[in-house]
């Protein structure tokens, strides 16, 4: 069975999705989804272990060798991303029951979990495959289910946000498809490694350059790279709380993975850096994302929206890391990918608990929250500290690596700007701390007693919060894996 | 001759596309989109891509205008446009268009035997697929065996789309009042009623032919599923939704949509059970060619079931929304 691990990773949730539709009871479909997610997490852990000890794994679907058939190819990079996506998904779904019940009503829950499983398997499929057209197919699965999941949000604005995202996301996907078409036209193959071998012979043609441009813009739309981020704040703030937690921690990460996969593996880092001024483009746009995202976040009164803008900023850091384009820079990006997933999943899950109890997550709802929901607010405070990059939290580790990578390559000003960006994030996180602990409860409202979120939400949230602390001190797992991944991608070590 | 045909088809495509973008009348735009689908199908046909042409005819010219018309029936046919947005759109379309044109400059000539697409993986498909898979339609061999996993993904895409529609429209107010019927169900539309009734059996029969003949000629589960669904949709347009719902209701098509994906997925798992890789059909029967053939028939059946069920599901949900809108109108 171990040889089938790569395909089990994707096929398990993919086949579970239509089966879930037959489960009429909402609790049953929740338990089923949790079980599938947990199984996928176990598979990804086994895969990661196998890849770390034995190197890359290839799996030919249908028994046809690549490039004639489709192959799955798991190396350190995608094993790492699979591990993050399945881990976050398990925590999010464990917390989902109460929140989904209150936000969606009884009749739509089975469909919700089916769509969730589809989205989950779509994301896993994008990451696991070694075939560029297969990427597009699973991108469609994850995108369509994401649009539907966002549209299931509580108020009618969710429909408009989902539609906006649908239009932009479809443009992005079409661009990626056009690019893939050009690549096939110029090389006759769709397999990633085969493309990497055959592209250098034709890399001077305008068709390959156009393919590169289309794929790059398409992925950056999905990634919400500044200035293509406009869909993200609306989508994140109006989606059901659980969907926001899942998407914030996984969807943009998978798009980021695709960016690395295409620029480094398929086109090759040398071509990518010489075809377009990618290095300065990524560093500039990444920094612009950091500053604009953080600055706008400071002025938001809806806290879900505030953290959505913060995501735009955090994506900026990851793009800067790719822009530095050294082993250390890429490693910082991959580390932040993991740490940001941990902190944003914790933050949005805590917000889900708040929405459940307070009915909303405006800044006013935070007044006196330290007393009403101490555990939820505690989780927000610690994960917020991690977001800022305080020492002893996971966020510190990735910022540290990013700054070190910048200084290593001689970008002193960049290092200073990264610190400045962190200060901005301290401002918006401080607003929450201030409201929750320092301002007393609103005197005009009747006195509210203690009203903590249910344990079903608190336990997964605190699991993630503790992970933020654990990986802020004991960093051997993420650092070894990301070190191996970036060294493998940029040549050098195996 | 072929050149004249191509030039004519392409200019017609261009005119249609420009007019679709230009017109404010959404009904006209939808009808033209259907024409656009038919023109592209003809163009694909003249390029020799029969399977693609068939799909485009069934989907682009067949079912998608039908679904868009159902949408218009709910939302009205007038467009509320924003002229400033249009300028912005025009600029970005021009930039993308220029990039596309510049990329085609170094494109290998159409049909050129030296094109990379014809030299690398294609030769094996063309020369060895008969020996390895044993069916004459190479397109089906590629879609259903060499790249079967993509096709599984596509079926799941369709399933996802159906569920998306269901999650948005399908679950508000389960029971519908039954007094409002299709306007064409009135006896005055005698011609429609007769033609509709006569046409449905051949449509169904043709769908089955396309489903089971996909290995030998153009066709397969996707096209067959669409045609099959169109038969039902046509019938319900003429005789009302009630008449169709006596045979298939929404929960049945919902279950069938999931079932088709499960059939496909399970055939893949049988590959693992028979000691090979996922979606490897060679172990399904004594010799590998028979196994391949069996596997392809089974997965095409899954494709057909899901596609037909999702198309019907989307139409049912749209019509239910339409009926609900009319009831609200009557009440007010």
A contact test, residue of B278, B280, B299, B309 with most A CBs within 10 A: B278
- Chain B partners within 8 Å of A22 (Cβ): 255, 258
Which helix (H) or strand (E) is A111 found in, with range?
A: helix A109-128
Question: B17 exposed, middle or buried (CB, 10 Å; 0-12, 13-18, 19+)?
Answer: middle
pLDDT at A325: 86
Q: Could you tell me how far CA A269 lies from the centroid of its own chain?
A: 23
Query: Per the structure block, which two tokens stand in for B299?
Result: 């997965």
Please say whether the beta carbons of A117 and A15 come within 8 A.
no
Please say whether the beta carbons of A132 and A86 come within 8 A.
no
Work out the end-to-end distance of chain B between its first and last CA atoms, rounded to an integer number of angstroms.
60
Residue B172 has pLDDT above 90, yes or no: no
The alpha carbons of chain B give a radius of gyration, in whole angstroms, of 23
Angle at B248 between CA B245 and CA B251, to 5 degrees: 100
- Per-residue model confidence as pLDDT tens digits over B246-302: 888 888 999 999 999 999 999 999 999 988 899 999 888 888 899 999 999 999 999
Please say whether the beta carbons of B245 and B331 come within 8 A.
no
pLDDT at A493: 41
Please say whether the beta carbons of B225 and B304 come within 8 A.
yes
Least confidently predicted of A111-125, A135-149, A375-389, A449-463: A449-463
pLDDT at B185: 55
State the nearest Cα–Cα gap between B204 and chain A, in angstroms. 26
Q: What is the mean predicted confidence (pLDDT) over A75-91?
A: 95
Q: Measured between CB atoms, which of A118, A213, A214 is closest to B160?
A: A118
pLDDT at A445: 61
Say how many C-beta atoms besides its own lie within 10 A of residue B178's C-beta: 11
Q: What is the mean predicted confidence (pLDDT) over B145-158?
A: 95
Residues paired with A71 in a beta bridge: A60
pLDDT at B191: 86
Angle at A325 between CA A88 and CA A403, to 5 degrees: 70
Query: Per the structure block, which two tokens stand in for A206?
Result: 């305008």
Q: Whose CA is closest to A251, among A224, A227, A231, A230?
A: A224
Q: What are the φ and ψ backbone dihedral angles of A57, each rounded to 5 degrees? A: -115, 135
Please say whether the beta carbons of A461 and A350 come within 8 A.
yes
Please say whether the beta carbons of A117 and B265 come within 8 A.
no
State the nearest Cα–Cα gap between A54 and chain B, in angstroms. 20
DSSP B19-54: HHHH-SBHHHHHHHHHHHHHHHHHHHHHTT-HHHHH
Q: Could you tell me how far CA A478 lies from the centroid of its own chain?
A: 16
Q: What percent of chain B has pLDDT over 70?
A: 92
Is the omega angle on the peptide bond into residue B19 within 30 degrees of 0, that is, cis? Answer: no
The alpha carbons of chain A give a radius of gyration, in whole angstroms, of 22
3-state secondary structure of A190: coil
pLDDT at B242: 80
pLDDT at B331: 64
CA B285 to each of CA B270, B290, B291: distance values in angstroms, whole numbers, following the listed order: 11, 6, 4
Angle at B222 between CA B216 and CA B224, to 5 degrees: 70
- Chain A partners within 8 Å of B117 (Cβ): 184-185, 188
- Chain A partners within 8 Å of B108 (Cβ): 185
Q: In chain B, what's the furthest Cα-to-Cα distance? A: 68
Say how many C-beta atoms besides its own lie within 10 A of residue B125's C-beta: 17
Query: Per the structure block, which two tokens stand in for A191?
Result: 């397999």
Query: Per the structure block, which two tokens stand in for A445?
Result: 């409202």
3-state secondary structure of A390: coil
Torsion angle, CA of A74/A79/A83/A89, rounded to 10 degrees?
-40
CA B235 to each of CA B195, B204, B231, B244: distance values in angstroms, whole numbers, following the listed order: 10, 11, 6, 7
State the nearest Cα–Cα gap between B189 and chain A, in angstroms. 38
- Alpha-carbon distance of A289 to A421, in angstroms, equals 10
Q: Whose CA is closest to A303, among A192, A163, A433?
A: A433
- Alpha-carbon distance of A201 to A192, in angstroms, equals 15
Q: Measured between CB atoms, which of B171, B258, B277 is closest to A22?
A: B258
Say how many C-beta atoms besides its own lie within 10 A of residue A170's C-beta: 15
Which helix (H) or strand (E) is A346 found in, with range?
A: helix A327-358
The tally of CA atoms less than 13 A away on the side-chain side of residue A64 is 26
Residue B318 has pLDDT above 60, yes or no: yes
DSSP A242-255: HHHHHHHHHHHHHH
User: Which domains, from first to last, does chain B contain?
Assistant: 1-107 (1.20.120.1200), 136-332 (no CATH)
- Per-residue model confidence as pLDDT tens digits over A225-243: 988 888 999 999 999 999 9
Least confidently predicted of A137-146, A187-196, B178-187: B178-187
Please say whether the beta carbons of A142 and A123 come within 8 A.
yes
Residue pairs between chains A and B whose CB atoms are closer than 8 Å:
170
Please say whether the beta carbons of A20 and A110 come within 8 A.
yes
Which helix (H) or strand (E) is A196 found in, with range?
A: helix A192-202
pLDDT at B109: 84
Q: What is the mean predicted confidence (pLDDT) over A245-274?
A: 92
Please say whether the beta carbons of B322 and B70 come within 8 A.
yes
Q: Could you tell me how far CA A453 lies from the centroid of its own chain?
A: 25
Work out the end-to-end distance of chain A between its first and last CA atoms, rounded to an integer number of angstroms.
26
Query: Per the structure block, which two tokens stand in for B278?
Result: 């996922």
- Alpha-carbon distance of B245 to B255, in angstroms, equals 15
Q: What is the mean predicted confidence (pLDDT) over A307-324?
A: 93
pTM of the full structure: 0.94
User: Residues in chain B, how many?
Assistant: 332
pLDDT at B330: 65
- Average per-residue pLDDT for chain B: 86
- Alpha-carbon distance of A455 to A98, in angstroms, equals 10
Q: What is the mean predicted confidence (pLDDT) over A203-219?
A: 91
Yes or no, beta carbons of B103 and A207 under 8 Å apart: yes
State the nearest Cα–Cα gap between A60 and chain B, in angstroms. 7
> Which residue has better confidence, A138 or B236?
A138
Yes or no, beta carbons of B120 and A188 under 8 Å apart: yes
Residue of A nearest to B146 (CA): A69
- Chain A partners within 8 Å of B159 (Cβ): 17-18, 118
Please say whether the beta carbons of B142 and B125 come within 8 A.
yes
- Alpha-carbon distance of A153 to A35, in angstroms, equals 24
Please say whether the beta carbons of B305 and B56 come within 8 A.
no
């Amino acid at each position: 069975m171990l040889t089938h691990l790569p395909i089990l990773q994707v096929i398990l949730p993919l086949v579970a999705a239509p089966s879930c539709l037959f489960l009429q009871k909402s609790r049953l479909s929740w338990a089923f989804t949790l079980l599938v997610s947990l199984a996928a997490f176990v598979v990804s852990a086994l895969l990661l272990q196998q890849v770390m000890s034995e190197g890359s794994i290839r799996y030919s679907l249908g028994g046809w060798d690549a490039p004639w058939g489709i192959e799955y190819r798991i190396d350190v990079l995608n094993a790492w991303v699979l591990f993050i996506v399945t881990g976050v998904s398990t925590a999010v779904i464990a917390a989902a029951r109460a929140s989904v019940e209150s936000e969606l009503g009884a009749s739509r829950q089975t469909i919700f979990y089916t769509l969730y499983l589809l989205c989950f398997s779509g994301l896993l499929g994008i990451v696991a495959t070694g075939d560029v057209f297969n990427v597009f197919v699973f991108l469609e699965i994850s995108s369509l289910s994401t649009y539907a999941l966002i549209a299931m949000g509580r108020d009618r604005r969710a429909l408009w946000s989902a539609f906006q995202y649908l239009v932009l996301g479809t443009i992005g996907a079409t661009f990626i498809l056009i690019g893939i078409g050009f690549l096939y036209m110029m090389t006759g193959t769709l397999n990633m490694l085969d493309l990497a071998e055959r592209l250098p012979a034709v890399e001077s043609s305008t068709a390959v350059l156009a393919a590169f441009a289309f794929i790059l813009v398409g992925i950056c739309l999905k990634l919400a790279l500044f200035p293509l981020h406009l869909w993200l704040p609306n989508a994140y703030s109006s989606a059901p709380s659980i969907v926001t937690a899942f998407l914030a921690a996984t969807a943009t990460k998978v798009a980021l993975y695709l960016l690395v996969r295409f620029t480094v593996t398929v086109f090759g880092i040398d071509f990518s850096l010489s075809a377009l001024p990618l290095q300065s483009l990524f560093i500039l746009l990444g920094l612009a994302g950091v500053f604009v995202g953080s600055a706008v976040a400071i002025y938001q009164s809806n806290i879900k929206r505030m953290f959505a803008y913060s995501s735009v900023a955090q994506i900026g850091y990851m793009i800067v890391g790719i822009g530095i384009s050294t082993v250390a820079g890429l490693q910082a990006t991959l580390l932040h990918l993991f740490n940001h997933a941990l902190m944003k999943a914790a933050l949005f899950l805590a917000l889900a608990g708040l929405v459940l109890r307070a009915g909303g997550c405006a800044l006013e709802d935070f007044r006196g929250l330290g007393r009403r929901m101490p555990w939820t607010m505690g989780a927000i405070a610690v994960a917020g500290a991690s977001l800022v990059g305080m020492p002893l939290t996971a966020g510190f580790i990735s910022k540290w690596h990013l700054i070190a990578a910048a200084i290593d390559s001689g970008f002193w000003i960049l290092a200073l700007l990264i610190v400045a960006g962190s200060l901005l994030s301290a401002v918006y996180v401080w607003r929450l701390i201030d409201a929750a602990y320092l301002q007393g409860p609103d005197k005009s409202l009747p006195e509210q007693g203690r009203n903590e979120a249910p344990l079903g939400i608190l336990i997964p949230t605190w699991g993630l919060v503790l992970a933020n602390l654990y990986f802020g001190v004991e960093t051997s797992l993420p650092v070894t894996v990301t070190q191996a991944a970036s060294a493998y991608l940029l040549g050098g070590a195996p | 001759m072929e050149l004249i045909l191509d030039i004519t088809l392409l200019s017609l495509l261009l005119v249609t596309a420009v007019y679709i973008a230009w017109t404010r009348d959404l009904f006209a735009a939808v009808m033209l989109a259907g024409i656009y689908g038919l023109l592209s199908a003809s163009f694909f046909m003249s390029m020799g891509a029969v399977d693609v042409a068939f799909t485009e005819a069934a989907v682009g010219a067949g079912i998608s205008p039908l679904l868009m018309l159902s949408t218009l029936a709910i939302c009205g046919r007038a467009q509320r446009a924003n002229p400033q947005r249009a300028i912005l759109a025009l600029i970005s379309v021009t930039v993308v268009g220029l990039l596309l044109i510049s990329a085609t400059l170094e494109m290998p000539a159409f049909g050129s035997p030296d094109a990379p697409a014809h030299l690398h993986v294609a030769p094996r498909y063309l020369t060895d697929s008969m020996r390895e898979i044993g069916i004459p339609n190479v397109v089906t061999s590629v879609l259903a065996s060499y790249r079967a996993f993509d096709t599984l993904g596509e079926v799941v895409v369709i399933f996802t789309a159906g569920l998306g529609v269901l999650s948005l429209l399908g679950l508000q107010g389960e029971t519908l009042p039954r007094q409002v019927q299709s306007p064409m169900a009135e006896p005055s539309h005698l011609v429609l009623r007769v033609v509709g009734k006569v046409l449905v059996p051949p449509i169904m029969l043709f769908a089955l032919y396309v489903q089971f003949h996909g290995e030998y000629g153009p066709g397969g589960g996707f096209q067959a599923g669409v045609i099959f669904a169109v038969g039902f949709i046509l019938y319900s347009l003429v005789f009302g939704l009630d008449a169709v719902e006596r045979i298939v209701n929404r929960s049945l098509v919902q279950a069938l949509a999931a079932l088709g994906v499960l059939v496909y997925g399970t055939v893949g798992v049988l590959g693992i059970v028979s000691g090979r890789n996922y979606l490897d059909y060679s172990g399904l029967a004594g010799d590998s060619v028979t196994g391949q053939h069996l596997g392809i028939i089974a997965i095409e059946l899954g494709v057909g079931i899901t596609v037909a069920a999702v198309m019907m599901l989307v139409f049912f949900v749209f019509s239910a929304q339409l009926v609900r809108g009319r009831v609200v109108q009557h009440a007010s």
